Amino acid sequence: MALAARRRRWTVIAMLLLVAAVAAVAAVAVRDGSGHASTSLIPGDPRRLTIARPDRAYTVLERDGPDGDWRITSPCALQVEPRRLSPLFDALAGGGARYPRDQVDGLGAGLQPPLATLSFDGTALSIGGTDLSGERRYVATDERVELVPEWIWPLVNGGLSALAVPDVFTRTLISIEGTGDGLDADVSHWNALQASQTIAWPPAGPAHAQAHAQAPAEAARRVTFGFEDGGHAVRDIVLGERFEAVVHEDGGCAHLLAPGTLRTAPPTAPPAAPPTSD
């Protein structure tokens, strides 16, 4: 009986050692997996995004909740084009090569200072330059640097034009008041307008400032638009030599259009009579 008891004791000890060994292997596997699994660069379900670029107006996007639609709230109120915003979020969801921040040359990576900063609910991401391949871009948090697809840069640096819907009016127009002489009064024409650019207003930068200066002051006029849903909106219309603009009521931004888009087409001269022969 003593022999049987010893055998049972050794069997129990062996089983306990086996369980401990399995637990140790599982712990190593979990620890190894957590070390290599990529975590998103942005917090889950963010509700506010601020895009800051040197010498440019901040672009602020917000949504009401996890299932809400994103909208631009500054420098003016605009609808977001989801097909442009979703790829940016996907690119920042993690999965690229990453390194501890203190092991990366911040100056060489274009992170000191950053080319742009994205703040998701207060969590800041620094956007840097590209790697040697030119196909990936450095993005840094306080703790790490990750390589993401290069194509995020046009979305980050493109300002309002990159993220806003291009439609000048997102509601159906039914009336226009104040067009006066020289401005197209065709409602269907205005309903179909799509901006070539959407910018913060007044324009910033030498090129935009020069274009703005060339827009004659007398060309600006205030027009009231009536919508199918019963609402109204007031817009300033600027007719310049290099562009035409529909400026938002709060003045924070404007839709730019090609010259001649908003003007009444000049009357077509009747064709010259053919010469008569004697």
What pTM does this model have? 0.76
207-215 mean pLDDT: 49
Q: Are 139 and 146 in contact (CB under 8 A)?
A: yes
Residue with the bigger pLDDT between 208 and 34: it is 208
Give the model confidence (pLDDT) of 140-169 as tens digits. 999 999 999 999 999 999 999 999 999 999
Token pair 């639609």 in the structure block, residue: 69
- Which tens digit of pLDDT belongs to each residue from 9-55? 544 444 434 433 333 333 333 333 333 444 789 988 899 999 999 98
Q: What percent of the residues of the chain are helix, what percent strand, and what percent coil, each to the nearest 5?
A: 25, 30, 45
Query: Quick one: 171 exposed, middle or buried, by C-beta within 10 A (0-12, 13-18, 19+)?
Result: middle
Residue 2's Cα: distance from chain center in Å? 78
Nearest to 92 by CA among 174, 161, 152: 152
Residue type, 128: G
CA distance 192 to 265: 16
Q: Give 127's pLDDT tier (boundaries 50, 70, 90).
A: very high
